[in-house]
Amino acid sequence: MILEKGISAPDFELHATPDQKLKRSDFLGKNLILVFYPADWSPVCGDQVALYNEMLSIFHKYNADILGISVDSSWCHDAFMADRKLHYPLLADFNPKGEVSKAYGVYNEENGTSKRALFVIDKDGIIQWSYLSPDGINPGADGIIDALENLK
């Protein structure tokens, strides 16, 4: 079951690069967008992360940072980020596989990947919006922007 509005967002520590980890709590004091997605290199995921990359300046106007999360390894993320010229971190929910996805209620047990889900977490670490999208559908950014607007 996907975590919903009003719940304290679980903290985590995941690899952003093979030698650097980030925690959700590192972003307290800022709004945070979490983007869970099934896999690097899939067409829908590639389009989705590219869209958010183009919208970074808009997200920053709302004092929001963004983190992508999938069960891919940090090495895979490095190659994907370089290929797509991404300017925000992709975190590896790799080992133990899907642990953070499970904590947020968005792990797909059938195929061992993260489901496609979005969370907007406020500066105090409370989930203010969550959305579970069908895997094959790019959820876009309208819901994210609406949730950020509501934080004003």
Rounded to whole angstroms, the Cα distance separating 109 from 16 reads: 24
Q: How many CA atoms lie within 13 A of 39 on its CB side?
A: 8
The amino acid that residue 24 corresponds to is R
Q: Is 76 a catalytic residue?
A: no
Please tell me the distance from the alpha carbon of residue 17 to that of residue 48, in angstroms, as a whole number. Answer: 21
Give the DSSP H or E segment for 91: strand 90-92
In contact, 32 and 65? CB cutoff 8 Å? yes
- 33, 35, 45, 49: which one is catalytic? 45
Which of 78, 9, 69 lies closest to 38 in space, CA to CA?
Answer: 69
Q: ∠ CA 18-34-145 to the nearest 5 degrees?
A: 140
Q: Which residues are catalytic?
A: 45
